[in-house]
């Protein structure tokens, strides 16, 4: 009888704990992929639950929606990109970076032409791109670093078909391919791509993927709990990359592909080891880069759109 009573009390306590879990909605930037590994691993190992959180991870129907849902207080957190965050600040949206997922740029210039050994070799070449504005400013800066002008190359919009345009020879190089995705896809197709990282040629380094909250919610205790759990997920992922991959592949069999496995491995060094940590100087430098290239109308103080949660 005593054992039964203890069992009932334990069950009641556990039920109470489950009921006490605070709900939190996180909208991803796109469908689940290896870029989200620390989040998925935090979920796998029960890190969110251990912090008393019930995190609902949502893939958006439209990549432009997640930050706007947070701005409208229809979601708690969203994954977005640091470059986009500066645009949101310029537009006056009430969004604040509270954490970082990937603290390295992923953007690159990729070519299959072995004779091109630096961006200087792009002179007179056709460059494929997908996103106007920021890609052009990035490429222009890289060319300037190599003492070239923007009009020394010919830009061609390949409408997000970067890899196929390169393979078909429609362009000599592409900008906008990620070092952990498109560069790996080309290797799987038997190619040996030449990859130039944007931050090595005059473009300020930036955090690729960041987590944003509504400005009114930055002191919500759930955010600190989320970041503690996310760090646990990151630590576990980096300590157990293969085990984590196998668990991810089992949970998402449709994503168990050679490309995703390669991307998982190549993303490991890119994840922020301390997701809460903020480098204000890095944000200031990228804000200046966008302003100098006339992509934003004004300089916004970093504290208005990025904080370190304590």
For residue range 263-309, list pLDDT tens digits in order. 999 999 999 999 999 999 999 999 999 999 999 999 999 999 999 99
Average pLDDT estimate for 119-134? 95
**Predicted confidence band at 132 (pLDDT cuts at 50, 70, 90)?**
confident
Cα–Cα distance list, 131 to 77, 91, 141, 174, 210 (Å): 25, 19, 16, 11, 19
CATH fold match for the domains 22-104+207-304 and 107-200: yes
107-200 CATH fold: D-Maltodextrin-Binding Protein; domain 2 (3.40.190)
From 279, 273, 289, select the one nearest 227 (Cα to Cα): 273
Query: What's the pLDDT at 19?
Result: 56
Q: Any idea where the domains of the chain sit in the sequence?
A: 22-104+207-304, 107-200
* pTM of the full structure: 0.91
Tell me: pLDDT of 96 over 60.
yes
Assess whether pLDDT exceeds 80 at residue 5: no
Hey, is 237 helix, strand or coil?
Answer: helix
The Cα 166–Cα 213 span in angstroms is: 38
pLDDT in tens, 52-87: 999 999 999 998 999 999 999 999 999 999 999 999
pLDDT greater than 60 at residue 15: no
**Which of the four pLDDT bands, split at 50, 70 and 90, describes residue 30?**
very high
Question: Using an 8 Å Cβ cutoff, are 71 and 293 in contact?
Answer: no
Q: Is 120 exposed, middle or buried (0-12, 13-18, 19+ CB in 10 A)?
A: middle
Alpha-helical runs (H) found in the chain: 2-20, 37-44, 47-50, 65-71, 82-91, 134-145, 162-167, 182-188, 221-239, 241-251, 258-267, 280-292
d(CA 106, CA 49): 31
Give mean pLDDT, residues 139-163.
96
| Rounded Cα gap, residues 183 and 108, in angstroms | 9
22-104+207-304 classified as CATH 3.40.190.10: yes
Provide the percentage of residues in the chain whose pLDDT is more than 90. 92
Residue 176 predicted with pLDDT over 70? yes
Closest by CA to 304, choosing from 221, 211, 215, is 215
């Amino acid at each position: 009888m005593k054992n039964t009573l203890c069992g009932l009390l334990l069950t009641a306590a556990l039920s109470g704990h489950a009921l006490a879990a605070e709900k939190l909605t996180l909208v991803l930037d796109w469908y689940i992929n290896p870029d989200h590994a620390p989040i998925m691993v935090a979920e796998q190992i029960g890190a969110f639950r251990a912090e008393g959180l019930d995190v609902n991870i949502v893939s958006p129907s439209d990549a432009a929606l997640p930050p706007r849902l947070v701005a409208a207080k229809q979601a708690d957190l969203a994954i977005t990109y640091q470059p986009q965050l500066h645009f949101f600040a310029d537009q006056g949206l009430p969004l604040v970076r509270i954490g970082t997922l990937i603290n390295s740029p992923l953007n690159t210039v990729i070519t299959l032409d072995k004779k091109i050994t630096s961006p200087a070799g792009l002179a007179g070449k056709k460059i494929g791109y997908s996103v106007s504005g920021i890609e052009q400013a990035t490429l222009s800066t890289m060319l300037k670093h190599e003492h070239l002008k923007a009009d020394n190359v010919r830009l061609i919009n390949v409408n997000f078909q970067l890899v196929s345009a390169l393979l078909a020879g429609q362009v000599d190089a592409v900008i906008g391919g990620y070092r952990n995705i498109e560069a790996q896809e080309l290797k799987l197709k038997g190619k040996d791509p030449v990859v130039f990282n944007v931050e090595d040629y005059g473009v300020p380094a930036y955090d690729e993927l960041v987590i944003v909250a509504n400005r009114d919610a930055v002191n919500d205790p759930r955010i600190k709990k989320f970041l503690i759990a996310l760090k646990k997920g990151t630590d576990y992922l980096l300590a157990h990359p293969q085990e984590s991959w196998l668990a991810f592949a089992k949970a998402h069999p449709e994503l168990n592909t050679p490309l995703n496995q390669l991307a998982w491995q190549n993303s490991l060094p890119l994840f922020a080891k301390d997701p809460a940590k903020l480098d204000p100087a890095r944000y200031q430098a990228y804000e200046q880069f966008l302003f100098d290239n006339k992509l934003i109308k004004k300089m916004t103080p970093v504290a208005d759109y990025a904080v370190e949660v304590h």
